[in-house]
Amino acid sequence: MTSSDTSSKRRRSSVALRLVRNPLGAAGVVILLVMVALALLAPVLAPFGPNTAAIGNTLAAPGGDFLLGTDSAGRDTWSRLLWSGQLTLLSALLCASVAIAIGLPAGLIAGYFGKAFDGVSSWVANAILSLPSIIVLLSVRSAVGPSVWITMIVFGVMLSPGYFRLTRTAVLSVRNELYVDAARVSGLSDARIITRHVLSVVRAPIIIQTALIAGVAIAIQSGLEFLGLGSPQDPTWGAMLSEGFRNIYTTPMLMVWPALAIGLTTGAFVLIGNALRDALEDMPGTRLSVKALAGAATAIGTASAPVRSRIPSTVSVRTLAEPVDATPPEDAAEHLLQVDDLEIGYPDGDGGLKRVVEGVHFHVDRGEVLSIVGESGSGKSQTAFAVLGLLPASAQVVGGTVVFDGVQTVDPQRRRIADERMRPLRGRRISYIPQEPMSNLDPNYTIGHQLSRPMVKLLGVSRAEARKRALALLERVGITDPQRTFDAYPHEISGGMAQRVLIAGAVSCEPDLIIADEPTTALDVTVQAEVLDLLRTMRDELGVAILIVTHNFGVVADLADRVAVMQQGRLVEEGPVREILHHPQHPYTRALLGSMLVGREPLTPLTTTTKGPTS
Amino acid sequence: MIAFTLKRLGSGVLLLAVICTVAYALLFANGPSIARNIVGDQATAEQVAAKQTELGLDQPLPLRFLSWVGDAFAGDLGRSWFGPITVSDALVTRLPVTLTLIATAMIFVTLIATTLGTAAAVKRGWIDRLVQVGAIVGDAIPGFVVAVVLATIFAVQLGLFPAVSSIAPGAGADAWIASLTLPVIAIVLNYVTASAQQIRSAVIQQRERDFVRTLRSRGLGDGEILLRHVLRGAAPAGLTVLSLQFVGLLGGAVILERIFAIPGIGQLAITATVNGDIPIVMGVVVYTVALVVIVNLVVDLLNGWLNPKVRVS
């Protein structure tokens, strides 16, 4: 308990530190502190009272007794500015307090206990949010007369749904967490669970929300006063702005000061709110790591630590010596796909490069099935996406060549797969079967549209012809009612059917090579076998080559002619499937094979060789 | 889809009914105070009582409300207490002005925000930074301050636009354009970056979805994928923020109409509020909430039309 308290204190102070280190956040804090100090010190600093009028000295120019001049009633602008600051800032405080006092408990109750209260309060919150606040405040003013305080209380009510939603969402996500269950089982009362576990989660977002809301409150309060709907006795920046606007032709400077005060204060609140959000998002543990950028990217052991150098210098002499144009190496012509010395890296955030694929070479012949095997993070998917030319934008092809049917697609100068060389190949010559079927279909279009559109575009057939071919393809991949599937949206079909649709899409333009990235991993075991059968049929009937990426030696044994084994970005072993299965040479291959055999002694975990994060 | 529409419609009607009840109770409950407000502080108790009787405020509140509801269903929202005009007439003559202002501004906001937000998401670089910084600046400076500054510089100092709107019944298109240009610019400046920011996030999120990579692998062009698939998927998020801005403008227009002296609903609402012309204020509330309900219904239907999960099931 004490340790969690101190760590949360450290976390808080570190957030404050980050807030001040952020130049915009620091500026916001300074401006706000100055405004608060001026307002608090108004009784000392202001030479006149807020409504003290110097008759005969109306609209005086700045200077003399009146630092910033006087308004049309002869009131000192500087003094009024200070007094107004007091009232304006206090009214913002009141507004935010009311909003929290209503929204927070309501959100806690709705989120924690749910049921009828949740339904009713959510409806009310939506209703309040859908009303234009100025219209509501005008009606309140009509009903109860001018009062800064009542206006701000009502506006606080109008803003409370923001806190309500925030709290409710946070509570809903925390409520079902295991540690809350544990707390409940251990006999803690609901009240204690709420205060200890739930409030600590919503504290940070509420602070951010409050900074932003204080700015909004000042803006709306000034707006109402500007309309002349406030009490004439109350000095506020909005009222001063209104007074300035009335005298805009004679003394426009009267308008500048309150406008500046309003702009600076609301701006300060927004800057603080944004800086706080950034500070909390940048906290260690929540920061996006290179892992997230690179997908399956994993650190390549200690032997090849990230190359720390500026981008141009990492191009090795060997890479530069290689052909820059699309001419392939001489022996490449005989293979459909030939990959040599492929190296892929991602910026590691410190100017260096983290390599996820290193020195990988393999080839695929026409009609052949090559399987790339390895565990998560071995670089096998990155290799497959490089062949497709669909690596993430931040990926860099540091070296090597990829030659498809005589076309070298790597552009070493830009360290990318050249899109202009890939474009004529993609879909038409090389196609792709993804891992997760459902997320790879656009939910907004029918299956039929997504199947026939590439045929219209790439093969130049008419829409009617494309439709006919799509129906035939659906039948061919084993879908019993092609017409119904053709007209269906993705959410109306099962995962296994979706994978068949994607396979149909992959073969629709009669490609020479299909890249299949773990095509069975997301499917039920029974469907897996059917999909593998289907892939084999496609190979046999269409003569298409398949590059299949998998971690499953069962798939390899079932489908592949040859196998390439990858570990930590490197190719460790490659050969005909029988040879690898029966006489694995590399210890890693043996470990992988062992992990799938039933009835064996438990092995030492594979993780002994893997240090980086897995995905 | 029909069930979906009816459900949304029912929810909207319920909202209208609840707000009308609450607003009526709030505005009309305190009869003596309303009458005192109209006849002034110096009036005698008899004068106040007479005014109360004259306006029918001595009747019990529920009875008055029921009779108001009955009239409202017949299209009669009562008469102004301060002039020879019905509430409906006062509102109907001013509504087109306010709606023209808001609709014109929102069309520009939609076009510019969609272009900026999409460009920021796709190109990144300086345009992305512009949108990010612009969103903070837009949040930081209250819209009416921007409007006041615009009015001061371009209408008052430079005289490029009329400082007092020349929109009147029968005014030509040039009067409308001259009067609405500055307020529309003020709204666009204030709103565009916030919606561009939302659209930017939605587009970035859509572009990272798996099916975009699969569509690229099928050989479809980047332009087609962006227009047909990415923007289509980002549309509901964009619609939501734009509809919220539209509703916000129903209130924001009040201040803008004051600054640019435009004879819309907002000016009517301010005058009625200051005078204590309660029937007019009530009328403004009814019209505004009705507009909110209509806008939300249209957005719900558009979202339903965009999203096959809602449409098909």
Query: How many C-beta atoms surround the C-beta of residue B237 within 10 A?
Result: 18
Token code pair at residue B137:
């600046």
Amino acid at A228: G
Q: Which residues contact A471 (CB under 8 A, 6 or more apart)?
A: A482, A483, A486
pLDDT: which is higher, A218 or A16: A218
Token code pair at residue B44:
């005698």
Query: Are residues A544 and A369 in contact, defined by beta-carbon separation less than 8 angstroms?
Result: no
- In chain B, whose CA is at the least distance from the CA of A275? B136
Identify the pLDDT of residue A257.
84
Residue B229 DSSP code:
I
- In chain B, whose CA is at the least distance from the CA of A138? B273
Give the mean pLDDT of A591-611: 56
Q: Is A296 on the interface with B (CB under 8 A)?
A: no
DSSP β-bridge partners for residue A407 = A404
Of all residues in chain A, the percent with pLDDT exceeding 90 is 21
* Integer Cα distance of A408 and A418 in angstroms: 9
User: Shortest CB distance from A274 goes to which of B26, B136, B285?
Assistant: B136
* Integer Cα distance of A202 and A222 in angstroms: 30
Residue B155 DSSP code:
I
Question: What pLDDT digit, counting tens, does each position of A254-272 carry?
Answer: 788 888 888 888 888 888 8
Look at residue A333 and tell me whether its pLDDT is greater than 80.
no
B121: left (phi over 0), alpha (psi -120 to 50) or beta: alpha
Residues of chain B neighbouring A429 (CB-CB closer than 8 A): none
Residues of chain B neighbouring A241 (CB-CB closer than 8 A): 145, 148
pLDDT: which is higher, B134 or A465: A465
What's phi and psi for A566, nearest 5 deg?
A: -115, 140
Token code pair at residue A225:
């006063």
Residue A242 distance to chain B (closest CA, Å): 10
DSSP β-bridge partners for residue A546 = A369, A514
- In chain B, whose CA is at the least distance from the CA of A508? B218
Q: Is B275 on the interface with A (CB under 8 A)?
A: no
Nearest to A120 by CA among A88, A164, A151, A89: A164
> What average pLDDT is seen over chain A?
79
pLDDT band for position A189 (cuts 50, 70, 90): confident
Q: Which residues contact A515 (CB under 8 A, 6 or more apart)?
A: A384, A387, A388, A430, A431, A432, A433, A547, A549, B217
Token code pair at residue A355:
């390599």
Query: How many C-beta atoms surround the C-beta of residue A554 within 10 A?
Result: 13
Question: What pLDDT digit, counting tens, does each position of B183-229 carry?
Answer: 999 999 988 988 998 899 899 999 989 999 999 999 998 899 999 99
Give the B window 1-30 contacts with A, CB below 8 Å. 15, 18-19, 23, 26-27, 29-30
Coil, helix or strand at residue A94:
helix
Identify the pLDDT of residue A556.
86
Q: Is A482 on the interface with B (CB under 8 A)?
A: no
Beta strand A369-373 pairing with A562-567: parallel
Interface with B, mutate which of A128, A135, A438 (most B CBs under 10 A): A135
Interface with B, mutate which of A22, A31, A138 (most B CBs under 10 A): A138
Question: What pLDDT digit, counting tens, does each position of A372-383 carry?
Answer: 998 888 888 899
Token code pair at residue A131:
């009303």
* Integer Cα distance of A519 and A505 in angstroms: 14
Report, in this order, helix, strand and coil percent for chain B, each rounded to 5. 80, 0, 20
Q: Is B125 on the interface with A (CB under 8 A)?
A: no
Interface with B, mutate which of A128, A142, A251, A269 (most B CBs under 10 A): A142
Q: Is A507 on the interface with B (CB under 8 A)?
A: no
* Integer Cα distance of A43 and A26 in angstroms: 27
Residues of chain B neighbouring A131 (CB-CB closer than 8 A): 19, 247, 288-289, 292
What's phi and psi for A573, nearest 5 deg?
A: -160, 145
Contact state of A130 with B247 under an 8 Å Cβ cutoff: yes
Give the mean pLDDT of A602-613: 47
Give the number of C-alpha atoms closer than 13 A to the C-alpha of residue B71, restricted to the C-beta side.
Answer: 15
Give the mean pLDDT of A12-28: 76
* Integer Cα distance of A589 and B90 in angstroms: 84
Question: What pLDDT digit, counting tens, does each position of A99-132 carry?
Answer: 999 998 898 888 877 778 888 888 888 888 888 8
Query: Are residues A31 and A84 in contact, defined by beta-carbon separation less than 8 angstroms?
Result: no
Q: Which residues contact B111 (CB under 8 A, 6 or more apart)?
A: none
DSSP β-bridge partners for residue A411 = A416
Residues of chain B neighbouring A259 (CB-CB closer than 8 A): 145, 148-149
Residue A428 distance to chain B (closest CA, Å): 7
Question: How many Å from the N-terminal Cα to the C-terminal Cα in chain A?
Answer: 33
Query: Number of Cβ pairs closer than 8 Å across A and B?
Result: 191
Question: What pLDDT digit, counting tens, does each position of A504-531 carry?
Answer: 999 888 899 999 998 888 777 888 888 8
Q: Is A261 on the interface with B (CB under 8 A)?
A: no
Identify the pLDDT of residue B114.
95
Identify the pLDDT of residue A312.
37
Query: Are residues B295 and B16 in contact, defined by beta-carbon separation less than 8 angstroms?
Result: no
Query: Are residues A160 and A106 in contact, defined by beta-carbon separation less than 8 angstroms?
Result: yes
User: Shortest CB distance from A453 goes to which of B213, B220, B307?
Assistant: B220
Q: Which residues contact B15 (CB under 8 A, 6 or more apart)?
A: A127, A130, B289, B292, B293
Query: Are residues A498 and A437 in contact, defined by beta-carbon separation less than 8 angstroms?
Result: yes
Of all residues in chain A, the percent with pLDDT exceeding 70 is 82
Give the B window 225-254 contacts with A, CB below 8 Å. 229, 232-233, 247-252, 254
Identify the pLDDT of residue A100.
92
Nearest to A211 by CA among A169, A263, A266, A162: A266
pLDDT: which is higher, B102 or A246: B102
Q: Kind and range of the H or E element at A372?
A: strand A369-373
pLDDT band for position A63 (cuts 50, 70, 90): low
Look at residue A402 and tell me whether its pLDDT is greater than 80.
yes
Query: How many C-beta atoms surround the C-beta of residue A1 within 10 A?
Result: 6
Which is it for the CA torsion A201, A202, A203, A209, positive or negative? positive
Which domains does chain B show, CATH number per domain?
2-73 (no CATH), 88-275 (1.10.3720.10)
Residue A73 distance to chain B (closest CA, Å): 21
Look at residue A303 and tell me whether its pLDDT is greater than 50.
no
pLDDT: which is higher, A529 or A251: A529
Give the B window 76-95 contacts with A, CB below 8 Å. none
Least trusted range by pLDDT, from A129-133, A209-213, A390-394, B37-41: B37-41
Q: Is A274 on the interface with B (CB under 8 A)?
A: yes
Which value does ipTM take for this structure? Answer: 0.85
Interface with A, mutate which of B214, B296, B297, B309 (most A CBs under 10 A): B214
* Integer Cα distance of B143 and A259 in angstroms: 11
Listing DSSP states for A102-147 in one string gives HHHHHHHHHHHH-HHHHHHHHHHHHHHHTS-HHHHHHHHHHHH---
- In chain B, whose CA is at the least distance from the CA of A143? B27
Contact state of A390 with B281 under an 8 Å Cβ cutoff: no
Q: Is B40 on the interface with A (CB under 8 A)?
A: no
Identify the pLDDT of residue A109.
86
pTM: 0.80
Coil, helix or strand at residue B44:
coil
Token code pair at residue A346:
């991602």
Residue A193 distance to chain B (closest CA, Å): 35
DSSP β-bridge partners for residue A570 = A567
Query: How many C-beta atoms surround the C-beta of residue A153 within 10 A?
Result: 18
User: Shortest CB distance from A439 goes to which of B209, B221, B276?
Assistant: B209
User: Shortest CB distance from B251 goes to which of A132, A255, A515?
Assistant: A132
Q: Is A495 on the interface with B (CB under 8 A)?
A: no
Interface with A, mutate which of B123, B145, B285 (most A CBs under 10 A): B145
Identify the pLDDT of residue A11.
59
Look at residue A298 and tell me whether its pLDDT is greater than 90.
no
Contact state of A458 with B219 under an 8 Å Cβ cutoff: yes
Give the A window 302-321 contacts with B, CB below 8 Å. none
Nearest to A137 by CA among A117, A114, A165, A158: A158
Token code pair at residue A376:
């998560």
Contact state of A131 with B19 under an 8 Å Cβ cutoff: yes
Residues of chain A neighbouring B262 (CB-CB closer than 8 A): none
* Integer Cα distance of B190 and B134 in angstroms: 9
Residues of chain B neighbouring A440 (CB-CB closer than 8 A): 210-211, 213-214
* Integer Cα distance of A331 and A569 in angstroms: 25
User: Shortest CB distance from A426 goes to which of B219, B248, B288?
Assistant: B219
Query: Are residues A95 and A151 in contact, defined by beta-carbon separation less than 8 angstroms?
Result: no
Query: Are residues B212 and B203 in contact, defined by beta-carbon separation less than 8 angstroms?
Result: no
Look at residue A54 and tell me whether its pLDDT is greater than 90.
no
CA dihedral A358, A362, A368, A374 (to 10 degrees): -30
Least trusted range by pLDDT, from A269-283, A312-326, A548-562: A312-326
